[in-house]
Amino acid sequence: MQWRNGTKWLVTAGVLAGMACAAHAQGDPGRWFDAQTAAVRRPGTTVRIDLIGDSTQTDHAGYGRGFCANLSAQVDCVNMAKGGASTRTYREQGLWDHALATKPDYMVIQFGHNDVVTPQHLDRQVPLPQYVDNLKRFVAEARAAGIQPVLVTPLTRRYFGKDGRIHSDLAEYSEAMRGVARAMQVPLIDLQRESIAYLDKAGEAEGDRLAITKKDADGKTIFDKTHLNWQGSYVFGRMVAVRLGAVVPPLQRYVQPQAAPLPAEGVKEMRILNGAPVTIVLVGDSTVAPQGGWGPGFCADLTKNVTCVDDALNGRSTKSFLDEGAWARALARHGDYYLIQFGHNDQKPDPARHTDPETTYADNLRRYIRDVRAIGGVPVILSPLARRTFREGKPWNGDLQLYANAARRVAEQEDVSFVDLLALSDRLLGTLTQAQADALDAVGHADQRAENGKSPLDRTHLNDDGKKIFGRMVADNLVRTCVELGTDVIGIPEVKPGAEAAGQAPGSAAPKAQP
């Protein structure tokens, strides 16, 4: 039994093999937190260290997993970093209170990337004086709680100039943090300077080999200059761990004497990032299936490097998909990733399909996750696609929300990637009228009567335009947590203002979460 963030997990070799894609990345919805167990430590450990910061510290876009891997088994290493966080939003979102509740011995605190004020003046951005005040408050409150803070200047972005050297946009905020460390006598890891020195020596090509990818405005795949792949995590995670031992001498004995090698899941993810073939299996109900679901649109958004298999079936629930043997057949494909979305038929009253969101539905999702991990695959949970029935001018999906809430909770508890398709699709539909939303309705789908009763309109299933729109939505949001799949999604140019008026299908560019 392993403890993670104060919650018990049953860990097997299969589980570890299936954790390449999980909930800790930029844009992640958060992780399961239970105040009652948050302070419980992993058995056999003697010290707890929390990572407090933004996406460059997270497990799946930053150096968090590399940092923890370079500490001994006596350290309970807890990653409380959050993608998109600044010194302002980390507190406003309640994350600082959650971190304090874990009662660590040390906090390794790094902010700056999202604090820097840009011409966009985003709500998370913080002017320098307030940044300094926020850091000082973190330090004071940590000390008041009996926790020793360690400040880390922000990891540099990999912005190389024509001279072949790094030109950092974080210099002022890094210097401000150094000032806080001097004034309050806090141990400091100057990661800004050390990462710049490393990259200046390694060069831009080597820096790119440490990166994940993203799409530019034209839809082309480019290197992300901020976030890290597995190799980058282990390079800079090692750097932080070694420096931690140097600036906090009592922790030196907990730093591994040799750099930790990538585990099997890291090796696999790097192969995928570098072009290894991938099999993605879709399972679910009719809103995923080929006839009227988003599955065909999703598969069309993937490169030829991906074998995309849509095993979803009309009319199935988490229960009937299992009972009829469909899940066993899907597992037999031994896919690399399984995208799992149910809910529409779980709420039906017939005993062959009905599940309760809080009990049997959640238990079934855990079964799917466990089975995928047992074959070395990566499970991804999705909440149900929104129906397009409007009330008072807005889409209404209150019945599906119960299942979406349960799906999110299971994903957070089991530490797997979660795509909140109900929220995403509902948000998009909220920008449309009922008539515009009906332009996405399927015609003649076999499940139409069961889903919509006497309504002549099928506001559950999708026509070809709907398949494209929501398939793209799933693809774009999947790679926010399964970052290694970024090269396998075909990019599209950004929608220009007025494009819909020019005849583009409404919502054909799916809304993306803020990085």
Dihedral of CA atoms 362, 367, 373, 379 in degrees, nearest 10, equals -40
Task: Say what percent of the chain tops pLDDT 70.
Answer: 88
Residues 6+ apart with CB under 8 A from 99: 50, 52, 80, 107
User: What is residue 60's predicted lDDT score, i.e. its pLDDT?
Assistant: 83
pLDDT single digits (tens) 336-386: 999 999 999 999 999 999 999 999 999 999 999 999 999 999 999 999 999
Give 412 or 355, the one with higher predicted confidence.
355
Query: Domain of 374?
Result: 270-488
Residues 245 and 287 in one domain: no
Residues 205 and 282 in one domain: no
Residues 224 and 323 in one domain: no
84 belongs to a structural domain: yes
Q: C-alpha angle with apex 295: 290 to 300, nearest 5 degrees? A: 105
Total domains in the fold of the chain: 2
What is the C-alpha to C-alpha distance for residues 19 and 15, in angstroms, rounded to an integer?
Answer: 7
User: What is residue 16's predicted lDDT score, i.e. its pLDDT?
Assistant: 31
DSSP calls for 479-490:
TTTSGGGGGGBP
Residue at token pair 């003046």: 121
Average pLDDT score over residue span 50-72: 96
User: What is residue 32's predicted lDDT score, i.e. its pLDDT?
Assistant: 67
Residues 280 and 250 in one domain: no
426 belongs to a structural domain: yes
Which of 232, 259, 286 is the last residue before a domain boundary? 259
User: What is this structure's pTM?
Assistant: 0.83
What CATH code is carried by the domain that includes residue 483? Answer: 3.40.50.1110
Residues 45 and 100 in one domain: yes
User: What is residue 449's predicted lDDT score, i.e. its pLDDT?
Assistant: 56
Average pLDDT score over residue span 450-468: 82
Residues 6+ apart with CB under 8 A from 302: 280, 308, 475, 488, 489, 490
Residues 41 and 181 in one domain: yes
Residues 44 and 156 in one domain: yes
Contact 415, 19 (CB under 8 A): yes
What is the DSSP secondary structure assignment for residue 255, as one 8-state letter? B
226 belongs to a structural domain: yes
Residues 195 and 154 in one domain: yes
User: What is residue 479's predicted lDDT score, i.e. its pLDDT?
Assistant: 92
Q: C-alpha angle with apex 381: 378 to 383, nearest 5 degrees? A: 165
404 belongs to a structural domain: yes
